[in-house]
Homo-oligomer: A and B are copies of this chain.
């Protein structure tokens, strides 16, 4: 529903009609809509992890580029899920001790993708910058802020810069 009509179209009334229950039943499972977004975000993070893991190790492409491309593809194919992960879910922190496993797993995949080109640099920091650049590309492109047709050029430049 969110993928086809956007998250604003996902109301508790429409949801309840879809599951053929009354509206208040939703609040027996989620304290609020934000909690529902959070649940969707968590599931989506493991989906993203899987996609990134499969991207590594394929022949003819270095891991950094493959993981980056897989990240962008995931965001492109599941815009609503990506929005739930990064825009609508307000509280899913990373640094804390209570970081959900799905989030650390996704981070670990990114880290595994770029670790080989770290060259003595701090891998965690490098991964964060890598992640930020990818997320920025997704976010800006989604808003129409980047030139069309230059996607490969941007990705190539990014990978090349971080690989040195």
Binding site for B on A (CB under 8 A): 86-87, 90-96, 103, 121-122, 124-126, 128-129, 131-137, 139-140, 143-148, 150, 153-154, 157-158, 161-162, 164
Write the chain B residue with the least CB distance to A137.
B132
Inter-chain CA distance A124–B145, complex, in Å, is 12
Chain A facing B: main interface SS: helix
Work out how many copies of this chain go into the complex: 2
- 7 A/B residue pairs, CB under 8 Å, sorted by A: A94-B147, A96-B144, A121-B157, A122-B157, A129-B137, A132-B140, A135-B136
**Which listed residue, B96, B140, B157, B162, touches A125 by the CB 8 Å rule?**
B157
| Closest chain B CB from A75 CB (angstroms) | 12
